Amino acid sequence: MLTDAQRIIVREICSIQFESLSDILIQTELGKDDDGERYENILKEFGYGRKDFDKELIDTIAKFKEVHNDPEEIYTLEELDLIVFKHILYNFRHKWEDQYPKALDNLWNKLFIWTMANEFHNKQ
């Protein structure tokens, strides 16, 4: 169960993520990697097109909106989405360190415990 402060943090992280993904979704071209190869070509190499990529973006945006609306749903995120969530939590921690220091620490603890319990459960 999340505290009110933790719900605020979760909602703000979700907002950051679905805003970022929405920005990518509206781009006509995805850009290039460090070697100058277009991301669309990389997708093609793996057998995916822009439509496939956009569908995944839309699904991920919807999932983060779901968690935004009900922060307790944080525990339903897929592993990759949870990794991204933790990445945002870490990189934007300055937004919450002063106002919600205890909530921030305890959110990290809850995510760690849930991750460990989930890994233990999956090994059985």
* Token pair listed for 50: 């822009």
**Domain boundaries in the chain?**
4-123
pLDDT per residue, tens digit, the chain (124 aa), is 999 999 999 999 999 998 999 999 999 889 999 999 999 999 999 999 999 999 999 999 999 999 999 999 999 999 899 999 999 999 999 999 999 999 999 999 999 998 888 777 667 6
C-alpha span between 74 and 64 (Å, rounded): 9
Report pLDDT for 124. 66
Residues in contact with 86: Cβ distance below 8 Å, sequence separation at least 6, in sequence order:
111
Report pLDDT for 68. 98
